[in-house]
Amino acid sequence: MSADPTKFKVARTIRLKSIGLCIARLPQTERLFVGGSDFKVYEINLTAENPEPIEFQGEGHQSYVTGAAMVGQQLVTSGYDGRLIWWDVEQRVPCRNVIAHERWIRKVVASPDGRRIATVADDMLCKVWNADTGDLLLTLVDHKPMTPHHFPSMLYAVAFSTDGLFLATGDRVGHVVIWEVASGKKLSEVEAPVMYTWDPKQRRHSIGGIRSVAFSRDGRRVAAGGIGTIGNIDHLDGPSRVEIFDLQVGQRVQEISDTTYKGLVEQIAFPVSESWGIFGGGDNGGFISFYDTETGKPLHQSKMPMHVHAFVLNDAEDTLYAAGHNQLAVAEFKAEANEEQKLDPAAATTGN
């Protein structure tokens, strides 16, 4: 195979004016789309001679842009303003703007065939949309709006299975639901309560929650990411944490708790061709970790130049593009790297 986690190396970084919170990539290209804390969406074309972020124009988001997904040649973004916006990536202007949720949208994902998109928001609903028309297809209701401690809950994470038949959603208190996309029926649920991080005594609030979910390639397992038990929840000072559940038996089969790199696991990816998972996230700093999903053992871990809020892989799945705190980072993990061809040394430090 072409990828080798042990060869992981940050090849270049590009400065962002704001905090990069989400990222999407136009297939077969190195055109990246990043949304951030300045409410804006940018294109960064890595093949350009000097890849500077280019701002999208027109009526955009009015709050943090927290989700980005490609549907065909169009980009869909979601934001804390409750809106879904479809963008023409050639003109870099919006072509559809939908009020999708009453509260913050935490994430938008597209089905593998690109025909549907799913959103999750702090109204605790998961909504499935027709990617072409923007019509609402389904509203999935199960996550409780309030935590057991009477605070507003939050619904952070959503993912499609590889075949596009299922959805997984994960919330603040560690509740994960598996849905059948066709019917909108809840198929099963599993719990990862440690990730809630509720401090009942010293601080009386929480800062955790399930921040990422992903299906394994065969769809038999689902992984949920967040943070483990924190002593002092003023900081993200707890082990990064991923729990993997076998959906057949409805039980947890892996518990990965890692103190080498602490903080939230913001995104999980399972490449098509590999038997390992990629976890990205961070605390004040950031990390990317590769784990063998069978053994739960780390294959390779690497510090990133910033807290990673989201990442996407290239088509060959040997390069990773991460959006995070004021930076975009490109990291490669090619198995047969040819040192001479690999990168232009001058470009490697861009924006650092």
Partner 1 sequence: MALFDARLRAPIDPGVSRRGFLGSSVMASTAAFAANMRVLDALQTPTLAAELKRQHKSVILLWLAGGASQLETWDPKPGRLTGGPFRAISTDIPSVQISELLPKMAQRMKTTAIIRSLNTRNGDHGGGTVLMETGRAKEAAVDYPDLGALIARELGRADSQVPDYVSLYSETEGRHKGGPGFLGARYAPMFLTESMIPPNIRRLDSISETDHQDRAAFQKLLARRFIDKHSNPSVASHGMAYERVRGLMSSESLFDINQEPQSARDFYGPTQFQEQCLVARRLVEAGVPFVKVARAWWDSHGQNFETHRELCADLDQGMSALLDDLGQRGLLENTLVLTFGEFGRTPQINASLGRDHFANAWSASLSGCGIKGGAVYGKTDADGQTVVEGEVKAGDLFATIFSAVGIDPTKEYHVGARPIPIVDFGCQPIKDILA
Number of H helices, E strands in the chain: 2, 28
Query: Which segments of 247-344 are extended strands (E)?
Result: 251-262, 264-269, 276-282, 286-292, 298-304, 308-313, 319-324, 327-332
Angstrom CA distances, 242 to 1, 37, 67, 101, 277, stand at 25, 26, 21, 28, 10
Q: Which is nearer to partner 1, 212 or 319 (CB)?
A: 212
> CA 129, CA 229: separation in Å to the nearest integer?
36
Q: What's the min distance (Å) between Cβ of 234 and partner 1?
A: 4
Q: What's the min distance (Å) between Cβ of 183 and partner 1?
A: 32
Q: What's the min distance (Å) between Cβ of 100 and partner 1?
A: 16
Residue type, 83: R
Q: What's the min distance (Å) between Cβ of 209 and partner 1?
A: 8
Single out the residue of 334, 314, 318 nearest to residue 23, CA to CA: 314
Task: Say whether 136 sits in a helix, a strand or coil.
Answer: strand
Q: What's the min distance (Å) between Cβ of 4 and partner 1?
A: 29
Q: Which is nearer to partner 1, 122 or 317 (CB)?
A: 122
Q: What's the min distance (Å) between Cβ of 205 and partner 1?
A: 5
Single out the residue of 286, 245, 255, 337 nearest to residue 3, CA to CA: 337
Binding stretches for partner 1 (CB under 8 A): 17-19, 37-39, 62-64, 80, 104, 122, 149-152, 154, 201-207, 209, 233-237, 263, 282-286, 306-307, 325
Q: Which is nearer to partner 1, 150 or 345 (CB)?
A: 150
> CA 143, CA 169: separation in Å to the nearest integer?
9
Single out the residue of 276, 241, 248 nearest to residue 190, CA to CA: 248
Q: Are 70 and 110 in contact (CB under 8 A)?
A: yes
Task: Tell me whether strands 327-332 and 286-292 are parallel, antiparallel or unpaired.
Answer: unpaired
Single out the residue of 213, 102, 76, 100 nearest to residue 158, CA to CA: 213
Q: What's the min distance (Å) between Cβ of 150 and partner 1?
A: 5
212-215, strands of its sheet edge to edge = 212-215, 221-227, 239-246, 251-262
Q: Which is nearer to partner 1, 39 or 314 (CB)?
A: 39
Q: Which is nearer to partner 1, 152 or 250 (CB)?
A: 152
Q: Which is nearer to partner 1, 19 or 288 (CB)?
A: 19
Single out the residue of 19, 11, 13 nearest to residue 44, CA to CA: 13
Q: Which is nearer to partner 1, 39 or 97 (CB)?
A: 39
Q: What's the min distance (Å) between Cβ of 318 and partner 1?
A: 27
Q: Are 70 and 27 in contact (CB under 8 A)?
A: yes
Q: What's the min distance (Å) between Cβ of 51 and partner 1?
A: 22
Q: Which is nearer to partner 1, 115 or 204 (CB)?
A: 204
Give the distance from CA 26 to its chain's centroid: 16
Q: Which is nearer to partner 1, 31 or 175 (CB)?
A: 175
> CA 263, CA 333: separation in Å to the nearest integer?
23
